[in-house]
C-alpha cells in the first residue's frame, strides 16, 4: 500500500516544497497538488519536480473544462519530462460552482468529454498526427466551424512515456464505470470501505469488463483524515466542517453529488438536514448534524492498533493508495504522522 497526501494550494511554493522534501524522506509516495481557484497546479508541480527525487507528482485535479485536450496532453508530457517520468495526470469534472462561476464555461457532458479528452491525450503522447472527430472535440476543426486552414499536427517533443498514467476523480456510477474502463487510477471521495462494494461494485465491474488489459490493474486512491494516538479522537470534530461543506454546500438541492453519496451511505435524513441548514447560511449548525459514525468510518483516527485495523479494511475494499489528510499543526508533526503510518502499512 502506498501513501500520498495533498498540499495546501493556498500556501507558498517554497514552504510546500521544503515540507514535501521532508515527507519524501519520511516515506511519502505520492503528492497531489489541487487546482481550485487559487494559483494553478501546474506551476507548483513543476517547482516540486525540481525539489524532489523519488515520489510521484499528481495533479489533484486538473478540471476537464479549463484546458483543451491537446493542452492537457502537452502539460502532462511536460510535467512528466521535468519529473523524469514521475507525473500522474489527475483529471475531474469539478462542479458548476467553479467551472461556470469562476471560468465562465458551461458545465456539460462530463462523462463524454472525459472519455474524449483521455483518448486525445493518448494520441498526443504517442506522437500521432492528431486527427480526432468526436462529439465534443474535433481536431482539426472542421472548415465549417473555422477557417479551414487547420492541419493535423503531432507533438514536437518526444515524451518520456507514451502513456502518462491517468487518474480520474469520480463518484457517480457512470463516472466510476468510465474510470474503471479507461484510467490507470480512480479517486473517490469520502471512501467508506464497508460500503464501497455496495455503492460502486457494480459500476467498477462493468468498467473493468471493457478495460484494455494493457492498462493493468487500476489503482484506488482513498483520502482519509489521519491522526494516530491514544487521545486523538476529538480531532474527528475537525473533519465535520469539510463534510458539511460538501454535503450541504457543493450544489443545489437535487444536484449535489456528495449529498447523494451520504444518502447512499445510509445518512439520507442527516444529509437533507445538513443541506437545508447550509444553504440557509447556518453553517455551524450544519456541522453539528454531521454523523459521528460517518466521520469515524471514512477516517484513520485513533490509536495505532485501531488505525492498523482500519487500514486493513481499506485494503480489503481495494484501496492501493492512502491519500491521507494529516491532522497536525506543524510540518514536523505531519512528517512524524507519515513515518508512523508507513510503519503500519
Residue 138 β-bridge partners = 133
Residue 218 lies in a domain: yes
Residue 234 lies in a domain: no
Question: Is 210 found in the same domain as 254?
Answer: no
Q: Is 61 helix (H, G, I), strand (E, B) or coil?
A: coil
Question: Is 100 found in the same domain as 7?
Answer: yes
Residue 235 lies in a domain: no
Determine the pLDDT at residue 279: 96
Question: Is 275 found in the same domain as 154?
Answer: no
Question: Is 70 found in the same domain as 81?
Answer: yes
Does residue 152 contact residue 129 with C-beta atoms inside 8 Å? Answer: yes
Determine the pLDDT at residue 80: 98
Question: Is 175 found in the same domain as 86?
Answer: yes
Exposed, middle or buried by CB within 10 Å (0-12, 13-18, 19+), for 33?
A: buried
Question: Is 269 found in the same domain as 159?
Answer: no
Total structural domains within the chain: 2
Q: How many residues does the chain have?
A: 345
Instruction: Measure the CA–CA gap between 228 and 301, rounded to whole angstroms.
Output: 6
Question: Is 211 found in the same domain as 135?
Answer: yes
Determine the pLDDT at residue 9: 64
Residue 320 lies in a domain: yes
Cell 502539460 locates to: 75
Question: Is 294 found in the same domain as 178?
Answer: no
Residue 290 lies in a domain: yes
Instruction: Measure the CA–CA gap between 139 and 124, rounded to whole angstroms.
Output: 12
Residue 40 lies in a domain: yes
Question: Is 9 found in the same domain as 97?
Answer: yes
Of the candidates 56, 58, 60, the residue with the CA atom closest to the CA atom of residue 28: 56
Which residues in the chain show pLDDT less than 50? none
Which segments of the chain does DSSP mark as H helices, in order? 13-26, 41-51, 69-82, 96-99, 110-125, 173-182, 193-209, 240-244, 257-264, 268-279, 283-289, 292-297, 304-316, 331-344
Question: Residue 302: which region, alpha, beta or left (left: phi > 0; alpha: psi -120 to 50)?
Answer: left
Question: Is 67 found in the same domain as 49?
Answer: yes
Instruction: Measure the CA–CA gap between 69 and 119, rounded to whole angstroms.
Output: 9
Please report, rounded to a whole number, the percentage of residues in the chain having pLDDT higher than 90.
92
Give the domain CATH number at 181.
3.20.20.30
Determine the pLDDT at residue 255: 83
Judge if pTM exceeds 0.85.
yes
Question: Is 260 found in the same domain as 129?
Answer: no
The domain in which residue 106 lies consists of 2-226+301-344
Residue 163 lies in a domain: yes
Does residue 87 contact residue 57 with C-beta atoms inside 8 Å? Answer: yes
Does residue 145 contact residue 163 with C-beta atoms inside 8 Å? Answer: no
Q: Which residues contact 265 (CB under 8 A, 6 or more apart)?
A: 192, 195, 199, 294
Question: Is 321 found in the same domain as 253?
Answer: no
Determine the pLDDT at residue 208: 98
pLDDT tens across 225-263, in order? Answer: 999 999 999 999 999 999 999 999 988 898 898 999 999
pLDDT tens across 280-294, in order? Answer: 999 999 999 999 999
Instruction: Measure the CA–CA gap between 43 and 54, rounded to whole angstroms.
Output: 19
Determine the pLDDT at residue 95: 83
Residue 133 lies in a domain: yes
Amino acid at each position: 500500500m502506498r501513501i500520498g497526501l495533498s498540499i495546501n494550494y493556498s500556501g507558498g511554493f517554497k514552504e510546500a516544497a521544503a515540507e514535501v522534501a521532508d515527507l519524501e524522506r519520511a516515506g511519502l509516495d505520492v503528492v497531489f497538488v489541487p487546482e481550485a481557484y487559487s494559483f494553478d497546479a501546474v506551476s507548483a508541480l513543476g517547482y516540486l519536480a525540481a525539489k524532489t527525487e523519488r515520489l510521484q507528482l499528481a495533479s489533484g485535479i486538473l478540471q476537464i473544462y479549463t484546458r483543451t485536450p491537446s493542452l492537457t496532453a502537452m502539460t502532462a508530457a511536460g510535467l512528466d519530462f521535468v519529473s523524469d517520468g514521475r507525473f500522474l495526470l489527475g483529471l475531474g469534472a469539478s462542479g458548476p460552482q467553479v467551472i461556470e462561476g469562476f471560468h465562465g464555461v458551461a458545465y456539460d457532458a462530463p462523462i463524454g468529454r472525459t472519455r474524449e479528452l483521455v483518448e486525445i491525450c493518448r494520441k498526443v503522447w504517442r506522437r500521432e498526427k492528431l486527427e480526432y472527430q468526436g462529439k465534443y472535440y474535433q481536431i482539426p476543426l472542421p472548415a465549417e466551424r473555422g477557417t479551414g486552414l487547420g492541419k493535423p499536427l503531432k507533438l514536437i517533443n518526444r515524451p518520456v512515456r507514451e502513456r502518462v498514467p491517468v487518474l480520474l476523480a469520480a463518484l457517480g456510477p457512470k463516472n466510476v464505470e468510465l474510470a474503471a474502463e479507461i484510467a490507470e487510477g480512480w479517486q473517490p471521495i469520502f471512501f467508506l470501505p464497508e460500503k464501497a462494494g455496495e455503492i460502486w461494485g457494480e459500476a467498477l465491474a462493468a468498467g473493468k469488463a471493457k478495460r484494455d488489459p494493457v492498462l493493468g490493474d487500476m489503482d484506488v486512491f482513498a483520502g482519509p483524515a489521519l491522526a494516530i494516538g491514544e487521545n486523538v479522537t476529538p480531532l474527528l470534530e475537525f473533519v465535520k466542517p469539510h463534510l458539511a461543506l460538501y454535503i450541504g454546500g457543493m450544489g443545489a438541492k437535487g444536484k449535489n453529488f456528495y449529498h447523494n453519496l451520504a444518502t447512499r451511505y445510509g445518512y439520507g435524513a442527516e444529509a437533507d438536514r445538513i443541506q437545508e441548514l447550509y444553504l440557509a447560511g447556518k453553517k455551524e449548525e450544519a456541522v453539528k448534524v454531521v454523523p459521528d459514525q460517518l466521520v469515524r468510518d471514512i477516517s484513520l483516527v485513533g490509536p495505532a492498533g485501531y488505525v492498523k485495523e482500519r487500514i486493513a479494511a481499506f485494503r480489503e475494499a481495494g484501496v492501493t493508495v492512502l491519500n491521507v489528510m494529516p491532522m497536525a499543526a506543524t510540518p514536523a508533526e505531519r512528517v512524524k504522522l507519515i513515518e508512523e503510518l508507513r510503519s503500519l502499512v
